[in-house]
Amino acid sequence: MPKLLDLRGCQFDGVIHLGRTMNRESEYLQSGGERSLANYYTASQSQTTLDPDLGQNIIFFTHNLATDGPINRFQAIVCRDVLPYFRRATRDRIQALFLYSLVRLGFLCLGRRGLMDDGPFEGRYREFCVEQKSYQRVK
């Protein structure tokens, strides 16, 4: 069983460096956000604190991609720039895990250095964003 972390717990207390938040406002609005990001946090001099209500539906936990099995079915999986560090056999195992864990029409976001090997996964995804190596599961 993965170790569950509370959003308000000691490992992540909802505090984010202010620069990271400010740089994301335009991206959030371009992606379809209807309100300002400022509606979801309180800013101080150098950090932002997320609205505690956001944490009610978020669970953080430790999961080892190389050895752990599937834990749930997801609409989106974000695993940025990690796959290139694994050997081909491990990448194949991880990609099988992603395929099993991602619902049909869900999104897999691998980041600019992410790798999507073909082979058994060919035809299962369509490219969604070439620059960010994001894919949508179609089969």
Q: What is the pLDDT of residues 86-106, one digit of tens each?
A: 898 888 898 899 999 999 999
Give the residue range(s) of CATH 3.40.50.150 domains in the chain. Answer: 63-137
Distance, in Å, from the CA atom of 24 to the CA atom of 59, rounded to the nearest integer, reads 22
DSSP class of residue 86?
S
| pLDDT tens track for 103-130 | 999 999 888 877 776 667 778 999 888 8
pTM beyond 0.85, yes or no: no
CA neighbours closer than 13 Å in the CB half-sphere of residue 89: 1
CA distance 40 to 104: 29
Q: 63-137 belongs to which CATH class?
A: alpha beta
Q: What H or E segment, with its residue span, contains residue 109?
A: strand 102-109
pLDDT for res 4: 35
Q: Which residues of 64-75 are buried (b: 16+ CB within 10 A; e: fewer)?
A: eeeeeeeeeeee
